[in-house]
Every structure is written in C-alpha cells, then in structure tokens.
Amino acid sequence: MSRCEKCSPMRAPCLGGPRRRRGRFACWATGRASERRIRWLRRAQRAGLPRLGEAIGALARIGLSSASLPPVPAEFLAVDGSGWRPAHRDVRGRVELFAGCLMSTLLAPLDIATGELLAAAGYEVVITQAQTCCGALAAHGGDLATARELAQRNLDAFTGRDMPIVVNSAGCGAFLHEYPHHVGNAAAALADRVVDVSELLVEAPLDLTGPPPPGPVAYQDACHARLAQGIVEAPRALLGRIPGLELVELADPTMCCGSAGVYNLLHPETGNELGRRRAETVRAAAARTVITSNPGCLLQMRSHLARDSGEPVAVRHLVDVLRDACPTAVERVPPEGFR
C-alpha cells in the first residue's frame, strides 16, 4: 500500500482502508513552517536556483520543473479575520474561507480570487482566525499524529458557527470531510459545513461575461474532487457561462495526474509516468488551456506540459479563470470590519 496514490477509487473495495506510509515530505508545507520555506523559495527564485536545480536534474527527480513553480507572491494571505463583501449589491449570506497552507502562501493570489468571487456573488467572506493547514499532506505521508493535531486546531477555530466553510483546494476539501474519522464525531458538524467554491458559486448569480481564456479549454478533474467528493458538473457549468469558452473533455477523466498529495515526491518515477500520460491526453485534445481545482494538479500539469516540445499550454486554477471573467467590483474588509 505504500505505492497507493490515495486518489480514492479504491476506497470502497479496500475495506481495511489504505495504510499510510510515513514520508519525509509530508509536512513540508504545514503550519508556520510553510511560510518560512516558501519565503526561502522566493529568495531562491530571485537567485535563479530553481533553474539551476532543473539544469542538474534535481527538480525532475521530484516531478517538478522551474516552469511549474509560480513566482512566490510578495504578500501572503493573513488569517486575521479580514475578508471581502459585495460592493454594490445585497448580501446573500456570510461564509468562512478556508485559507490552506499552500493556497495562502505560494498560491495566495488564488485565495484572493476566491474571496473576491464569493463577494461578487453576494457573500460576505471571512478569513477565519487561528485556522491552520488541513493536515492532508501529513496524513498522506503517514504522520497521522500531526494530521490529528492540525485537525483539532481547525475544529477549535471553526466551531461555534454554522456558516459554510468554503475551500478552493480539492485535497483540503476531501480531507476536511474526513475529520470525523480522524478526530471523532465532534468534527461531524464542521465536515458538513465544508463546501467547494464551485458548488457554492454555481448556485449564485455571478456575472461571468468577461473574456475567456485561449481555447480549446480542458478541465482536469482532481481525483480529490471527482472521486472523493463527487464534484463533476459544477466547475463545467461555471465555465460554460463564460461567453465564447470552448470546453473539451480529456480522455479518461478519472485518470490521476500523478500528483496525488505527496505521491509524486515519495514515488517520483511512477508520479512522472502518470504525469506524462495525463499530458498526452491534453495534447490529444488539442487544448491550449488546462483548468483544475487542486494545487498539486496545477503544479504537476504545468511541469509535464512544459517538458515536451508541443505548443505552450496554460495551466490555471478554476478560480483564476472565473475571476478574470468576472467584472464585478468588491470591497476588501479589514479585520475589525466584521461584527
């Protein structure tokens, strides 16, 4: 079971449940340590070290390339109780944003896009204080003690309210739904509140009349979205509301891209092979843009599509594309702005 991708199709027949392998990469991006390491990555990018790592083959051995790593943003998203609200429309309700460890640091612009989209759809969005990494990466690597500790901290941070907890990372969403298994029935109410951003936005009157990305556009289903949570139609329905967007389907939509949490780090040869095969389906569909909803898939697909000699293919997160298509202005709210 140490080579299990944890991509979910075997959960039903595997009655004993997958046994996790302890991995040295499991907690690379959990908690405050993630901020320190990603700030180090920012300095390394400025010094050109990722390109050096690519030149000597170090990045390829863990399934990455310099092209797959986005520029580290100058500012991370602070989990300080701030947020967003609609600027010129009635408020539909209030939601809490689950910031995530990678999403609030390395990919912080995606968290910002998520908050802005929810506000554009009519929601007040609060970045809940005291939240931390969901614990998925620790669990994938076999460090269940750390996963439970992080889960308990999030349970403490989010308990006492009943508003939806919105996630933009399929891996986080899938693991948050598993909290009752890890920390007991006390987490059941929290797990029931977790909702993927696409499932909330698809029911809202969101203006998506802006320009589409270059097409054809392929949607890459993250295993932790499609297989673990059954999220299939909502992202496609949202993309279908963007005028002129040409959506094509990839062959074998349940094929894992090879990221699978930390699988491509623990088993780079197999992870790279899966990534290569997934990239081939993108080329076969003649897609110019690939959209996904998970940070691991995002980095994995960028890496493998940058390696071949075909035409450049943009790989983007769903909320990034939707925010570009949404012209609605929203209001940023300081920590003391929500009562």
pLDDT in tens, 183-238: 999 999 999 999 999 999 999 999 999 999 999 999 999 999 999 999 999 999 99
CA distances from 82 to 79, 95, 111, 332 (A): 7, 12, 13, 8
Judge whether residue 52 has pLDDT over 80. no
pLDDT of residue 310: 79
State the pLDDT at residue 137.
86
The predicted structure's pLDDT at residue 24: 40
> Is the per-residue pLDDT at 16 higher than 60?
no
pLDDT (mean) for 166-173: 97
User: Residue 16 contacts by C-beta under 8 Å, 6 or more apart in sequence?
Assistant: none
Residue 89's pLDDT is 81
The more confident residue out of 145 and 74 is: 145
The pLDDT score that the predictor gives to residue 150 is 96
Architecture of the 217-324 domain = 3-Layer(aba) Sandwich (3.40)
Q: Does pLDDT of 321 surpass 90?
A: yes
Out of 15-19, 150-154, 240-244, least confident range: 15-19
From residue 1, how far is each of 6, 131, 263, 331 by CA, in Å?
10, 31, 12, 48
Q: What is the mean pLDDT of residues 314-318?
A: 97
Domain residue extents for the chain: 217-324
Kindly report, residue by residue over 240-275, the tens digit of the pLDDT. Answer: 999 999 999 999 999 999 987 667 666 778 888 999
25 pLDDT band, cuts 50/70/90, is very low
* Nearest-angstrom CA–CA distance, 227 and 7: 7
**pLDDT band, very low/low/confident/very high, at 48 (cuts 50, 70, 90):** low
* H-assigned helices in 56-135: 108-120
Radius of gyration of the chain (CA): 19
Q: Which residues in the chain belong to E strands, given as ranges?
A: 83-86, 93-97, 123-127, 165-167, 194-196, 217-219, 247-248, 289-292, 314-317, 330-333
pLDDT score of 233: 98
Average pLDDT, the chain: 85
**DSSP state, 237?**
H
